[in-house]
Structure 1
Amino acid sequence: MKNLQQYLATASVAADVFSLRPDYRALLIAVNGITPGPSDDQSEQMLQEAEASARDKLSKQAVTELPHIAAWREAYKSFGAKPNKTRNSLEALTRRVEKGLPRVNRLTDIYNAICVKHQIPLGGEDLDKYSGPPQLIRATGKEHFEATAAGEKVVEHPPVGEVVWCDDAGVTCRAWNYRQGPRTALTDQTTSALFILDALESCTNDNLNAAGDELLDALKRFCPDLEVACRLVSNTEP
């Protein structure tokens, strides 16, 4: 089992990512001791609250005009992605609110609800499946991303310059927060997880920390022995 605080200390964001977006911050939350379980009353209530919050926002602004979604669309353009085709995870989930957010399992439902409610891209990864520390880099074109297409495993190579999360074994998430890979995906057996909350200028550190606090409060309700470590990575971090 990893020492969570020491592990997060090894996480990194490359200088050329900060050059692209100096306002970028990542709140990393690592946890041990998750009790796996199916969707339940708690996760359902959180999803319904998130759906109501998003519907209220969407009654006043188009999805592409919501401040943090708009900021992420600009960030995607900066490394050559087309935001109408490659949608950040926050926008993709917010667009699903009209028909209802997906119900997957308790853990996934909780972090999806917080993503939509707080309007912050939030990814969850199985920490036990990581090889080395999380690293946010700009791709060289040689990195491997294990994906699934038509039921078959395939290997993709993100284009040069794409911003990707990776570990020592390859890419774990394409286009910053667009598409997570199956290798490190959360499952019904996950007991140790890494959560990545991504923020740009329109999202304050207070907003970021409030989302992280709500995530941990929700997890602690059904994981009494939860072990937690947090780190805010930014351009101004010592």
Structure 2
Amino acid sequence: MIGAIWIDEAVTRLRPDFHVLAIGAYGLLNGPSDERSRGWLAEAAAGAVTPGHQNILAWQDAYRAFGAKPQRTRPSVDALVRRMPPPEINLVVDAYNAISVRHVLPIGGEDLAHYEGTARLVRAGGEEPFDAVEKGETVIDHPEIGEVVWRDDHGVTCRRWNWRQCVRTRITEDTVDALFLLERLAPMSLEELAAAGEELSGLLREITPGVRLESRLVGPA
């Protein structure tokens, strides 16, 4: 799965410094939030940065580059650090949210049982389906033309780079196999990105000691 992930050249032209560390996790035993995952979130919240951190400013600039307004639709890490302590979702989501806050980088999680084909980061044509929840009801939306989106063969899995995930592939307590996307822009170093990946892998092993993990750094072609 992670060996086929790619970034479209149209995205690379916007931000040639973009890299994503993809981590595949197979055989997870997820479950509801517990005292252990609450501790991860509390520790991350205690050291949380302000929204003026250089990593967050870099993502705001990236959003503006494709026409998004980051004050209206915030990059995921920006939205997360403004919501302290982070919300409790489930063990796996709590783990990657804690690492996201601690390292000030966006992290997405996808349930591979509901994924179709290869993950790729592209600029949208505008016709791709995106399923979301509005007022408690599932609706089908579409990205704007030129919007940076993650997608699979079925449609958009995350809009505006890392603003909002679709319902179809989100990680639940029933998730067994998952894909995590740790997204980096300068000035964050690749060494910092690798360290975040190691920490996330460590938490996933705490959740499921027998989990099988693989990782790959994806950057400009």
| TM-score > 0.5 by shorter chain | yes
TM-score, normalised by the number of residues in structure 2: 0.97
Out of 2, 19, 36, the residue aligned to residue 13 of structure 2 is 19
Q: Distance in 2 between matches of 1:132 and 1:102?
A: 30
Q: Is 1:137 matched up with 2:137?
A: no
Contact 2:110–2:178 (8 Å) recurs in 1? yes
- What RMSD, in angstroms, separates the aligned Cα atoms of the two structures? 1.0
Letter in 2 for 1:152: E
Decide which of 84, 93, 112 is 2:71's aligned counterpart.
84
Aligned to 2:59: 72
Query: Which one has a bigger Cα radius of gyration?
Result: 1
Alignment of 1:123-202 (within 5 A): 123-202=108-187
Compute the displacement of 1:41 (Å): 2.5
Runs of 4+, deviation exceeding 3 Å: none
Question: Deviation per CA, 1:139-181, whole angstroms, max 9, x where unpaired?
Answer: 0111111112122221111111100000000000000000000
**How many residue pairs are counted as aligned between the two chains?**
221
Q: Write the distance in 2 (CA, Å) between the matches of 1:219 and 1:41.
A: 15
Q: Which amino acid aligns with 1:191?
A: V
Compute the displacement of 1:222 (Å): 2.7
- Measured against aligned partners, the alpha-carbon deviations of 1:82-127 in whole angstroms (never above 9, x if no partner) come to 0110100000000001xx2111111111111110011010011101
* TM, length-normalised to structure 1: 0.90
Pick one of 91, 105, 108 that aligns with 2:90.
105
Partner residue of 1:32 out of 15, 26, 36: 26
Could you list the runs of 5+ residues in structure 1 that have no partner in the other structure? 1-6
Q: Aligned with 2:168: secondary structure?
A: helix
Matched, 1:50 2:50: no
Flag the structure with higher helix content.
Answer: 1
Q: Find the counterpart in structure 1 of residue 204 from structure 2.
A: 219
Secondary structure of 1:184's counterpart equals: coil
Identity %: 45
